[in-house]
Amino acid sequence: MVLKSRKQSKQITLSFLTLLLTVSLVLTVPTTIVKAGIIWDETFGGGENEEGFCIVNTTDGGYIIVGFTESFGAGDSDVWLIKTDENGTMMWNQTFGGIDDDEGRCVAQTSDGGYIITGSTSTFGAGWSDVWLIKTDENGNMMWDKTYGGTGIDEAECVQQTSDGGYIITGELEFEVDSVYHDDIWLIKTDENGDMMWNQTFGGTDDEEANWVLQTSDGGYIIVGYTWSYGTAETSDVWLIKTDEEGNKEWDKTYDKGDFDVGECVLQTADGNYIIVGTTISYDVYYSDIWFLEVSEEEGFFGGTFSYILIAVVIGLAVFLAIFLSGKMKRGKEGPWEKGVDEDLFDA
């Protein structure tokens, strides 16, 4: 476009200035309104070590936190359950444990308004540590507790209430093979009283650990953690396992990015995909990164016979298309219209 007069040029400059002003206004207004900062903060603890591992919203608008405390309780570390209001002010707290190490890793509010906690106990149960499941009322008073485990170091990382009112727990089961201990992912389903209905282990000869479990929309379960036995050799990979409603594996998938990849948490999206968050570390860099990925429900499905059918269909379509196109091109060369169209375009 050629500028024909000074007037036109002035108009363009004015429009440009107006646009610039609008853009700067749009950019400045939100930054003056939105102020990132701490609304409130609280610390909980005594003279020894305490750590928090899990927090969830409660139906009263407050929060429930679980971790461990060395300052309070019965000895060594104890499970520490803290209820706060919506401003993070402690309303009450409870400790659970005995003379040895006891630790809370995960808490969820249950349909009766109480809480379900999982973690590990060295005080109670079988050898070393065992998975510990604690049910409390809405004030954190213990209603019942259960331990699950064998002679090794067994720990739980995640618990959720299931649609039947029972609980699904995941963590690690340690067992001995030829005097060497290995970890497998452990999935435990209990009824509403914490009595084990079934359990499943997943893993190979090396170490595996699970960090999160979720009941999926089809009534099955999705577990995320990591595996050293499968995926890329010599490195750990994120491991996603899908089971049916009885914990039988339907499919599994490993995801590799760095030398040490760990899946920490998984969510199911509305369209049936899975969102995973975890950590990836490469030895040459050494520092870790957060790894955030969405994967398709079909990941496992495509690994089976279906993939061969799909490949056959795609090849078939490609061959058909090639034959169809070559036929058409031959006709096109002979036809008088093709050149004509081009000439018409250039003339215009």
Contact residues: Ca ion, CB under 5 A: 75-76, 78, 97, 102, 126-128, 130, 149, 154, 182, 184, 203, 208, 235, 237, 256, 261
- Where do we find the tokens 């948490």? 265
- Where do we find the tokens 């955030």? 292
User: How many C-beta neighbours within 10 Å does residue 212 have?
Assistant: 21
Which CB sits closer to Ca ion, 97 or 194?
Answer: 97
Which CB sits closer to Ca ion, 88 or 150?
Answer: 150
Closest contact distance (angstroms) between CB of 138 and Ca ion is: 24
**Distance from first CA to last CA of the chain, Å, rounded?**
19
Which CB sits closer to Ca ion, 44 or 124?
Answer: 124
Which CB sits closer to Ca ion, 106 or 216?
Answer: 106
Closest contact distance (angstroms) between CB of 261 and Ca ion is: 4
- Where do we find the tokens 């049910």? 135
Closest contact distance (angstroms) between CB of 198 and Ca ion is: 19
HEC per residue, 4-70: CCHHHHHHHHHHHHHHHHHHHHHHHHHHHHCCCCCCCCCCCCCCCCEEEEEEEECCCCCEEEEEEEC
Closest contact distance (angstroms) between CB of 324 and Ca ion is: 45
Burial 258-288 (b: 16+ CB within 10 A, else e): bbbbbbbebebeeeeebebbbbbbeeeeeee
Residue 200, SS3?
strand
Which CB sits closer to Ca ion, 235 or 268?
Answer: 235
Closest contact distance (angstroms) between CB of 303 and Ca ion is: 19
Which CB sits closer to Ca ion, 58 or 122?
Answer: 122
Closest contact distance (angstroms) between CB of 123 and Ca ion is: 6
Cross-strand pairs, 295: 274
Please tell me the distance from the alpha carbon of residue 189 to that of residue 207, in angstroms, as a whole number: 22
Which CB sits closer to Ca ion, 58 or 236?
Answer: 236
CA-angle at 164, arms to 118 and 301, nearest 5°: 90
Beta-carbon contacts of 173 under 8 Å, excluding residues fewer than 6 positions away, are 149, 150, 152, 154, 183, 184, 185, 186, 201
Closest contact distance (angstroms) between CB of 115 and Ca ion is: 19
